[in-house]
Amino acid sequence: MRVNTAFNRILGIHGTVVDAVAFTDEGLVLTVRRRARTHRCPCGRRIRGRYDTSTRRWRHLDFGTCRVQLEAVICRLWCPRCRRVRTEDVPWARPGARFTRDFEDMIAWLAQRMDKTSVARLLRTSWESVDRAITRVVADHLDTARLDALYRIGVDEISYRKGRKFLTVVADHDTGHVVWVTPGKSQASLARFFDLLGAQRAAQLQAVTMDGSKAFRGATANAAPNAAICLDPFHIIKWASEALDAVFRAERFEFLTRANLAARSNAPWATARFALRRAKENLTPGDLAMLAAMRRERVAVHRAWLLKEELRDLFRTITPAKAGAYLKRWIARARRCGITPMVNLAKRLETHTDRILAGIELGLSNSRLEGINAKIRVIQRRGYGYHHPEALAASIYLCCGGLTIQLPTQR
């Protein structure tokens, strides 16, 4: 068997022929050419003429311990469709890349499972090259068809850098995949998603879950008025816990005895605070004793704690059919209690009653988005931080967007 024929079979790149094989100081260099006689612009148009030519090399998968590079004469074309000079498309590499498709797919497959520094060391390339390869692979695999079957989505934000730098993340509740990532957490950030979605696909949305962000509510109401906005129960209970903390802070020093004040000890305050924050089913005997003392001596704090637990029951034990009446009664009790933070909470929940009940009736929350945010934190730690949101967004799509990257050995 001829050497060229052997390397043609080893490479296995459709539409490519190996013309020569050379061993150099840089490793193995395979001179290749396209089988097709016509040239193809990256836009897909076939062109016979050429503007000029040059010789380039692309890094390929290693053969054992030997580096492999593909070398070919590549043409630049004048494309009537693009109305400018462009470099022709080749079957072994993506446009603008100096790595072959097989090499970049290997990078992306590994990056889904390990940190970029380890990938760079394993494949003997730089961290920056790994980052750029991931961006190209994601752009190649990410299709707008992922937006066609969206019916129930969740929206949340996550910080990616100090200085209040945020990303807006949109995920599909039915598949659990991230469908949109963009910098910022404003109404304009989410509006860009709805612009890409289009009016027809936005009209088929049935529900959008989110926290209490006014910006997200405004963008959703403008672009998808038929979709039910569902507030996340976790954030509602968080509001109640913050109101309870405000009540407790107003009277915290009353819980300290004179001996503790003299010793400057915060231990009783910390113990009481944690007891109030725990769910009633998780209370210890010591917590129960603390709550009994509050019931006798600090009625306002104990009443605020009871209201918080009663609000938790709205999402735990109350059926959707009775949720509306239960919430209405809870708001009435909270407004009559005379405790300012709880009264303010009741007014706040009253303005969101329809959104709270929509989430209960549909059984939706932002828990899936919170899980995705935890995965994004892992992606950030694996990458040792990201200076640019575009690079982080590409990694999020790669690991959480449902992209299937096939290894060269699986084809």
Query: Which pairing describes strands 207-210 and 39-40: parallel, antiparallel, or unpaired?
Result: unpaired
Q: What is the pLDDT of residue 194?
A: 94
What would the pLDDT profile of 128-161 be if each residue is shown by its tens digit?
A: 899 999 999 999 999 888 898 899 999 999 998 8
**Distance (Å) of CA 231 to CA 156, 272, 314, 365:** 11, 30, 13, 7
DSSP code of 405?
A: P
Q: For residues 134 and 389, is the Cβ–Cβ distance under 8 A?
A: no
Task: Using DSSP bridges, classify how beta strands 152-161 and 16-24 pair: parallel, antiparallel or unpaired.
Answer: unpaired
Q: How far apart are CA 399 and CA 84, in angstroms?
A: 36
Using CA atoms, how far apart are residues 10 and 17, in angstroms rounded to an integer? 11
Dihedral of the CA atoms 263, 264, 269, 274 (nearest 10)?
-100
Q: Which two tokens stand for residue 302?
A: 């104990």
**Helices 233-250 and 267-277, packing angle to 10 deg:** 150
Q: What secondary structure letter does DSSP report for 318? A: S
Beta-strand relationship, 178-183 and 84-87:
unpaired
pLDDT of residue 206: 94
Q: List the pLDDT tens digit at each of the 411 positions of the chain.
A: 577 777 778 787 888 888 888 888 888 999 988 888 888 888 888 888 778 888 999 999 998 888 999 999 988 888 888 888 888 888 899 988 999 999 999 999 999 998 888 999 999 999 889 999 999 999 999 988 889 889 999 999 999 888 788 999 999 999 999 999 999 988 999 999 999 999 999 999 999 999 888 889 999 999 999 999 999 999 999 999 999 888 888 876 555 444 444 444 455 667 777 778 888 888 888 878 877 877 777 788 889 989 999 999 999 889 999 999 999 999 999 999 889 999 999 999 999 999 999 999 999 999 999 999 999 999 988 877 777 889 899 999 999 999 999 888 876
Query: What are the tokens at 267?
Result: 């231990």
Contact yes or no for 53/74 (Cβ under 8 A)? yes
Structure tokens at 70: 């593909």
What pLDDT was estimated at residue 258? 44
Predicted local distance difference test score (pLDDT) of residue 160:
86
Residue type, 331: I
Helix (H) or strand (E) holding 96: none
Roughly how many angstroms between the first and final C-alpha of the chain, as a whole number?
24
Angle between helices 320-336 and 353-362 (to 10 degrees): 150
Which pLDDT score is estimated for 262? 43
Alpha carbon distance 59, 309 (integer Å): 61
Tokens of 402: 């449902």
Instruction: Tell me what pLDDT residue 264 has.
Output: 44
Q: What is the pLDDT at residue 167?
A: 93
